[in-house]
Amino acid sequence: MATYRITAPDGAKYDVTAPDDATEEQVMAYAKQNYAKPAEEPSSLLGWNRRMGQTIANAGAGAVRGAGSIGSTILAPLDYAGVTGMTNAERRAQIDAGLQTIGADTESLAYGGGKLAGEIAGTAGAGGLVAKGLSAVPAIARSAPGLINAVRTGGMTAGGSGMATRVAGGALSGGAMAGAINPEDAGTGAVLGGALPAAVKGAGMVGSKIASKMQVSQEIAQLAQKAQSLGIDIPADRIANSKILNAGAASLDYVPFSGRIATETKMNNQIKRALSKTFGENTDSLSKDVFVKAQQKLGQGFDDFLTKNKVTVDQQLFSDMQANLAKAKNELSADNYRIIENQVKDLWGKIDNGIIDGNAAYNVKKTLDRLGRGNGNEAFHAKEVRNSLMDALKRSVSPEKAQGFTDLQRKYANLKSLQKLAGNSAEGDISMARLGNIDSRNQEVIDLAKIAATFAKGRESPHGAMQRVSIGSGVAALGGGVLAGVAAPVAAGLTAGRAANMALNSKALKNVLVGNPSTKNRLADLLENPTTRAAIMAAQSR
């Protein structure tokens, strides 16, 4: 008796045991007589789990088969010499047959995907090995270092050598990668590998076209670059004004396991962490407690500075105070003016041999701080007097100390402008929407407020959950297909939805959109990665 795999009219596959010499018609007849159609898997979570388990098993078997491709190629010379008694193709067929006996579906998409992954992993280092081999030959190492570099990078760089050297290096690398999978594909791999360097040359123009179609203004591009320099990862759809990208990205919020919600949460937390750094902290929480602790820390910094330094009373301080009082007298009532005048008189009374003790100056400053918390004209003039005193203090110390004090003042000002937006409870936080209304004179806070207002909110308005899931499944399917044996919308969310989200976070795509650096350079960097080239060579041998 022998085992035959047949395909029934409904598309189901069966392993049928029939006599060794049975014809195809006899096998089908034998199957109808002796085998009943298997019961349908229940459309329950249990049935779904069984199919998913089989899919995972198929993918694992495919990975084994991919590694087997490399091993079979290694033995190919023995095949040609007649030592093994079989051909390369026969050995590969035996590997497939062996995996079938343990339950793998060698015709499934998962098996093919696992096989491709195994082949990519096994061949990624082929170009590097060839380059090392060439380096070991003294004559080549001396006369053709550019060729060795071109082989190592797949022709993307050649140490200043011309395009011919790059093409040759790409061909050698591509041939080695494709040939490791299947010797019969080495020639095709060499042709493809040699063509890649030339193809990259024209990629800069393509990138410019993409950027223009995506409608990225210079202002948005510069703001995205600023965000990147601050450690904030902005997805490509928030940079480009593209209806397709916007709708697809918005739909990913409703695709299970796409990672989109995590992407948005990460971006918002990075914005908040950057904001916290403007007042001396390093946290993605902007709660009331964080501000209280930061204020205490900065307050201690002021105390330390003011109590350890003295104010030199120079002519500039006298001139500034006279100007402050003259302006206050013109703008305030007699009673309110007297409040400001008394603070200046108190300050002058603390002068000893042209010096004001730091503690004494600090006490006057605290009173001026309290008076300056209001919104009236007297508060404005109290702050003007305080600023003149602080300027005199900075003139009285070394440039390094003065800069340190300026940094303290900047951080404190940032803290006070942000603190107004924080929630009242200990768990409260600053929403991205409220940042757009911040009142700050410091550019670093203004930039972060612009980043939040521009990128934190999606460009696409809600269309309804079901519509988004439908769109998301389509976008996800374009990103990577679906797993065999699983319902398409679920599979898209599990696999390709995540791939689509990863694409939106691709540095290469974002750099194309903001024009930094050129698409040509980004594509060259991408193809210089041996894994990328191995994937291309493995895919062409399908």
Whole-angstrom distance, CA of residue 470 vs CA of residue 492: 10
* Count of C-beta atoms within a 10 Å radius of residue 353: 5
User: What pLDDT sits at residue 474?
Assistant: 45
Least confident stretch, 204-218, 247-261, 266-280, 406-420: 204-218
| Dihedrals phi, psi of 321, to nearest 5 degrees | -70, -40
Q: Say whether pLDDT at 288 is over 90.
A: no
Using pLDDT thresholds of 50, 70 and 90, give the confidence band for residue 472.
very low
Mean pLDDT, all residues of the chain? 77
Structure-model confidence comparison of residues 471 and 513, the more confident one: 513
* Count of C-beta atoms within a 10 Å radius of residue 407: 12
User: What pLDDT sits at residue 492?
Assistant: 38
pLDDT tens digits, residue range 201-248? 655 555 555 555 556 778 888 898 899 899 999 888 888 776 666 766
Whole-angstrom distance, CA of residue 369 vs CA of residue 386: 8
What string of H, E and C letters represents the secondary structure of 81-128?
A: CCCCCCCHHHHHHHHHHHHHHCCCCCCCHHHHHHHHHHHHHHHCCHHH
User: What pLDDT sits at residue 490?
Assistant: 45
User: What pLDDT sits at residue 480?
Assistant: 40
User: What pLDDT sits at residue 285?
Assistant: 86
3-state secondary structure of 492: helix
Residue type, 251: S
pLDDT tens digits, residue range 365-380? 889 988 988 788 899 9
Whole-angstrom distance, CA of residue 338 vs CA of residue 197: 79
Q: Say whether pLDDT at 86 is over 90.
A: no
Is 120 buried (19+), middle (13-18) or exposed (0-12) by CB count in 10 A?
buried
Q: Is the CA virtual torsion 320, 324, 330, 335 positive or negative? A: negative
Q: Comparing C-alpha atoms, which of 457, 442, 402, 394 is closest to residue 277?
A: 442
Using pLDDT thresholds of 50, 70 and 90, give the confidence band for residue 327.
very high
Answer yes or no: are the C-beta atoms of 496 and 481 closer than 8 Å.
Answer: yes
Answer yes or no: are the C-beta atoms of 493 and 477 closer than 8 Å.
Answer: no
Whole-angstrom distance, CA of residue 199 vs CA of residue 204: 10
Q: Say whether pLDDT at 279 is over 70.
A: yes
Contacts of 9 (CB under 8 A, 6+ apart): none
Q: Say whether pLDDT at 542 is over 70.
A: no
Least confident stretch, 64-68, 145-149, 498-502: 498-502
User: What pLDDT sits at residue 386?
Assistant: 92
* Count of C-beta atoms within a 10 Å radius of residue 71: 12
User: What pLDDT sits at residue 35?
Assistant: 56
Q: What is the DSSP string of 159-212?
A: TT--HHHHHHHHHHHHHHHHHHH-GGGHHHHHHHHHHHHHHHHTHHHHHHHHHH
pLDDT tens digits, residue range 115-157? 877 777 777 778 888 888 888 888 888 888 888 888 888 877 7
**Which residues, in sequence order, are bridge partners of residue 14?**
6
Quote the tokens at residue 40. 């349908």
For the chain, what percent of residues have pLDDT higher than 90?
20
* Count of C-beta atoms within a 10 Å radius of residue 405: 19
DSSP class of residue 493 equals I
Least confident stretch, 105-109, 270-274, 328-332: 105-109
User: What pLDDT sits at residue 124?
Assistant: 77
Q: Say whether pLDDT at 517 is over 50.
A: no
Least confident stretch, 40-49, 256-265, 526-535: 40-49
pLDDT tens digits, residue range 159-193? 778 888 888 888 888 888 887 887 877 887 787 77
User: What pLDDT sits at residue 491?
Assistant: 42
Whole-angstrom distance, CA of residue 413 vs CA of residue 402: 17
User: What pLDDT sits at residue 395?
Assistant: 92
DSSP class of residue 311 equals E
Q: Say whether pLDDT at 447 is over 60.
A: yes
Answer yes or no: are the C-beta atoms of 444 and 267 closer than 8 Å.
Answer: no
3-state secondary structure of 464: coil
User: What pLDDT sits at residue 496?
Assistant: 56
Answer yes or no: are the C-beta atoms of 96 and 106 closer than 8 Å.
Answer: yes
User: What pLDDT sits at residue 516?
Assistant: 54
Using pLDDT thresholds of 50, 70 and 90, give the confidence band for residue 541.
low
Interval 416-433 mean pLDDT: 70
Answer yes or no: are the C-beta atoms of 66 and 116 closer than 8 Å.
Answer: yes
SS3 content of the chain, % helix, strand, coil (to 5): 70, 5, 25
Structure-model confidence comparison of residues 33 and 315, the more confident one: 315
For the chain, what percent of residues have pLDDT higher than 70?
72
Answer yes or no: are the C-beta atoms of 288 and 423 closer than 8 Å.
Answer: yes
β-pairing, 355-356 vs 311-312, is: antiparallel
Whole-angstrom distance, CA of residue 363 vs CA of residue 350: 11
User: What pLDDT sits at residue 351?
Assistant: 92
Q: What is the DSSP string of 245-287?
A: HHHHHHHGGGSTT--HHHHHHHHHHHHHHHHHHTTT---S---
3-state secondary structure of 356: strand
Structure-model confidence comparison of residues 22 and 333, the more confident one: 333
Whole-angstrom distance, CA of residue 32 vs CA of residue 16: 10
Alpha-helical regions (H) of 43-87: 45-74, 76-80
Structure-model confidence comparison of residues 69 and 386, the more confident one: 386
Using pLDDT thresholds of 50, 70 and 90, give the confidence band for residue 524.
low
Q: Say whether pLDDT at 261 is over 90.
A: no
Whole-angstrom distance, CA of residue 165 vs CA of residue 153: 12
Answer yes or no: are the C-beta atoms of 96 and 72 closer than 8 Å.
Answer: no
Least confident stretch, 12-21, 126-135, 149-158, 348-357: 12-21
Q: Say whether pLDDT at 486 is over 50.
A: no
User: What pLDDT sits at residue 18?
Assistant: 72
Contacts of 501 (CB under 8 A, 6+ apart): 252, 258, 259, 260, 263
Q: Say whether pLDDT at 494 is over 50.
A: no
CA angle 260, 263, 266 (to 5 degrees): 150
Whole-angstrom distance, CA of residue 155 vs CA of residue 143: 17
